[in-house]
Amino acid sequence: MIRVSDLWRKFGRFETLRGLSFEVPDGSAFAIIGANGAGKTTTIKVLMNILEPTQGSATVLGVDSRKLSIRELAQIGYVSENQDMPSRLTVEEYTNYLRPFYSTWDRDLERTIAKQLRLPFDRKIGNLSHGMRMKMALMCALPYRPKLLILDEPFSGLDPLVRDEFMEGLLGQAGEMTIFISSHELGEIDGVATHIAFVDEGKLLFQESMSDLTGRFREIRVILEGVATRPSDAPKEWMAMQLTGNVLTFVDTQFDEAGLRELVRSRIGNVRMIDSQPMPLRSIFTTLARAARDGSA
Amino acid sequence: MVWHIFKKDWKLLWVFVLAAASLHWIGSFIVFKLGMFGEETSLSMLSFWIPELAIFGSMFLIAAIVHLEAIPGTRQDWLTRPVPRGILLLEKFLFGLIAVEGPIFISSVFQGLANGFSWRSSLLAALSRVVFLLFFLVLPIFAFASITRNMTEAFIMGCGCTFILGAFLILAGSVNTWMHNTLLGVTHTGIGWIGEVFRFFLVAIAATIILGLQYYRRKTTAARLWLIGFGLLLLASTFLPWEPAFAIEERLSPNRGAGKSTQLAFEPSEEKFKSPFGLLASAESDKRRESREAAEVYLPLRIAGTGNDSILLVDRADVHLIDRSRGSYYHGLGDTFSLAREGSNPQEESLYQQIDIPAPIFRKVADESSKIRIDYSLTLFGLNKSYSLAALDGDERMPGWGWCKTALNESGTAVEVRCMEPGKGPICASIFLENSLSGARDPAVSACLSEYRLFGDRPMSDNVARFGVNLPFRDKSGLTKFPVDGSQLPHSRVVIRMYEPEDHFTRSLDIPGIKLKDWQAQ
């Protein structure tokens, strides 16, 4: 659905994207995560042909992003937190305006989504709150049943109620569509994304399926016989290492239960107990973000 | 789809469209109410400001139309929608034509019809105005707005461009003065329209490239560079040289060869020019004070072969002072003048070519023998039609000339003749007072413009040309006696002899071995 290879984008001398490469499988819910300024929005703008890459390429629906035509755009839904829509039109006027551009626009679906999202049709877009505007953007992106839905920081600034309504609207109509979502609100992605890519300073740190990711990350707690010391030859997969008395904790980024015990014993010595716990996405993200910041990722 | 987008734009902009249209219509109504003699000063002032404001409003509207779907930027929702770019461009263009040019067209047609002109002439004049505005307002602002994100950016960049243009004009004007008015070529001359047509093409090409780049490829940086490039070309077009432009004008002569027997010669047997005294002395001394940095040289001329009922107009006199050792040491422009040969037996009058030579140059060469070469660009006008109307409260419509009225001026010393005509209007006439009973005539006032444009150029108010002359019949000081005086006015008519250009041609005059001091004005 989307293929990005060696993508670079510079703004003046500042490199926002630095050789980014990833692939989004058909039918997946692909989340691109990263801290603010990591290059998520720039990536999306390149995918939508709003920005041109400085180097490298991106293909969307099999077409070079620079050559996206109205045929492809009619199959892409786009929702962004900072989308400029005609503020002096009402919600109804704008949907009436958009409808003829999409041959697949389903009016019944439009009504269903509008009802679900509880949108005031007679209100001017400029008078909508941020949350309402996001819901409206979603409503304008779904009724034509796009093959690809691109969401750029859709949850940013939404209160929990609106967030829930937004997610219900989204998930209710997801069907077979591929969803590409950028966010740093990891809690929201946790239940949605099937695949994940982590970017930092314009570079991809990893890309894999959610199940693989959560499977290989574990928080490890090692209780030793004596006072714990930092092993000098700890493998690089062990991150965020901390010592407290005789307890050593770290994050294993390549978790393998059998291998871990052997490795811990060989590197640390007298181990009384090893405990491994699955990690929530938020913890994985913060671990990776810190490691990236410290240069150890 | 064009209509669909149009309706959306109309919904968003109808208030602005109506506001700009109202300004045009109000301006047009004020100009109409002002009438032929324009005596109401408050209306007169409004007739200047409202149309200016209306044009400014139209500029704002064009930018607003474009900015509804701004091209530079990364946040616009429309960029992610399957909106065909070509359709969008077409819609914006049509919206500009209908919402911006439409009201201007209507106000121009109103102006023509309200003043009693025919539908045909009113429509043609209005069409000419909107075509002119298309190239000099709609397309440039359209292209300019397409490279800006919003009105603020457009305003700031517009101010920058205006500043650069102003600085350029000041600089070019200064260099032109330093080069004795030879730098600016055809600009502000009768054949300046050739430069304007060249600029039409430049604007059309620039707009095509910039709008194409923006709407089809969103290459704002490249489009901005093109804009700068074309802007420089437009500025450079003010230096369009005279000779090739006049050669084009020559080819467009309606009766080519009509001036072939025209001869110009230096007439040293004529007496030296003497500055007039009496009534004109004060004005003349003022002029002398102003130009004390220049020496005025008057060369007596004899012009033959122009034929009767004709007017010869000097469009440009290119003067070179040459000597053997230094070559051409001065290049400047001589004063332009006209020579009227009216009637079957026209009177011969002394004719002088005035040349203002910078004082330092004059002081250096005044006593030396020099050669003067004057390259003349000339236009021969032939009598086309003759009309007359009552000297007092006359009101006539004269085909090809326009609608004229006459009235006595406030001080009771002259007959005011005021006329209007849709379009560019006539350019040459001799007008005089004639007693219908006795046949006595006052001296004619020849009013000929070196102005050969094919189209009107009044984008601000309307496309109705307004013109007129004052015909004096009484001198308050009593020094001048007029054959047709105030007492004869009830039996007198204003005669308008209308001339049309027949031939544009050039002549060169070489005067060898002349001492400039011998011909300096006394």
Query: What secondary structure does DSSP assign to B317-366, as a single string?
Result: EEEEEEETTTEEEEEEEEPP-EEEE-SSSPPP--EEEEEEEEHHHHHHHT
Q: How big is chain A, counted in residues?
A: 297
Record the tokens describing residue A139, joined without a space. Answer: 């409503």
Contact residues on chain B for A82, CB-CB shorter than 8 A: 75
Nearest to A84 among B4, B75, B82 (CB): B75
Q: Render each residue's pLDDT in chain B as its tens digit; 522 residues.
A: 899 999 999 999 999 999 999 999 998 888 888 887 776 777 888 888 888 899 999 999 999 999 999 999 999 999 999 999 999 999 999 999 999 999 999 999 998 899 889 999 899 889 988 998 998 899 999 999 999 999 999 999 999 999 999 999 999 999 988 888 888 878 888 888 898 889 989 999 999 999 999 999 999 999 999 999 999 999 999 899 999 999 999 999 999 999 888 888 898 887 777 765 544 444 455 555 445 678 889 999 988 888 888 899 999 999 999 887 777 888 999 998 888 887 766 666 778 899 988 888 888 888 888 899 999 999 999 998 999 999 999 999 998 888 999 999 888 899 999 998 888 888 888 899 999 888 888 988 888 888 888 776 666 667 788 888 999 998 888 788 889 888 889 999 999 999 999 999 999 999 988 888 888 876
Contact residues on chain A for B84, CB-CB shorter than 8 A: 70
Contact residues on chain B for A71, CB-CB shorter than 8 A: 82
Inter-chain contact A83–B75, Cβ cutoff 8 Å? yes
Are B502 and B253 within 8 A, CB to CB? yes
Question: From the CA of A207, how many Å to the nearest CA of chain B?
Answer: 26
Question: From the CA of B95, how many Å to the nearest CA of chain A?
Answer: 17
Inter-chain contact B80–A101, Cβ cutoff 8 Å? no
Are B50 and B27 within 8 A, CB to CB? yes
CB count in 10 Å sphere of residue B433 = 28
- Cα(A213)–Cα(A196) distance, integer angstroms: 8
Are B349 and B476 within 8 A, CB to CB? no
Nearest to A100 among B4, B68, B75 (CB): B4
- Residue B459 has what pLDDT? 61
Classified as helix, coil or strand, A163 is helix
Question: From the CA of A137, how many Å to the nearest CA of chain B?
Answer: 9
Amino acid in position B458: R
Nearest to A100 among B1, B74, B75 (CB): B1
Inter-chain contact B82–A100, Cβ cutoff 8 Å? no
Contact residues on chain A for B72, CB-CB shorter than 8 A: none
Contact residues on chain B for A88, CB-CB shorter than 8 A: 12
Inter-chain contact A89–B11, Cβ cutoff 8 Å? yes
- Cα(B443)–Cα(B470) distance, integer angstroms: 12
Query: pLDDT tens for residues A211-227?
Result: 888 888 899 998 888 77
Contact residues on chain B for A84, CB-CB shorter than 8 A: 73, 75-77
Contact residues on chain B for A76, CB-CB shorter than 8 A: 80
The DSSP letter of residue B189 is S
Inter-chain contact B79–A48, Cβ cutoff 8 Å? yes
Q: Which of B10, B65, B71, B80 to probe the A interface (max A CBs under 10 A)?
A: B80
Edge-to-edge order in the sheet of strand B263-266: B263-266, B294-304, B351-358
Inter-chain contact A89–B4, Cβ cutoff 8 Å? no
ipTM rounded to 2 decimals = 0.84
Q: Give strand ranges (E) for B423-521.
A: 428-435, 445-448, 464-472, 492-515
Record the tokens describing residue A177, joined without a space. Answer: 């569509």
- Cα(B320)–Cα(B375) distance, integer angstroms: 8
CB pairs below 8 Å between A and B: how many?
A: 48
Q: Which of B4, B6, B74, B83 to probe the A interface (max A CBs under 10 A)?
A: B74
Contact residues on chain B for A73, CB-CB shorter than 8 A: 80-82
For residue A77, what is the nearest residue in chain B, using CA coordinates?
Answer: B80
Q: Which of A70, A91, A139, A149 to probe the B interface (max B CBs under 10 A)?
A: A70
The DSSP letter of residue B273 is P
Distance linking the first and last C-alpha atoms of chain A: 28
Q: Which of A84, A91, A133 to probe the B interface (max B CBs under 10 A)?
A: A84
Query: Phi, psi at residue B339, to the nearest 5°?
Result: -125, 120
The CA dihedral of B133, B135, B137, B139, to the nearest 10 degrees, is 130
- Residue A188 has what pLDDT? 72
Question: From the CA of A70, how many Å to the nearest CA of chain B?
Answer: 4
Classified as helix, coil or strand, B296 is strand
Residues in chain A, pLDDT under 50: none
Question: Which pTM was predicted?
Answer: 0.84
For residue A47, what is the nearest residue in chain B, using CA coordinates?
Answer: B80
- Cα(A182)–Cα(A82) distance, integer angstroms: 13
Strands B428-435 and B445-448: antiparallel
Contact residues on chain B for A137, CB-CB shorter than 8 A: 77
Contact residues on chain A for B10, CB-CB shorter than 8 A: none
How many Cα atoms within 13 Å fall on the side-chain side of residue B213?
Answer: 19
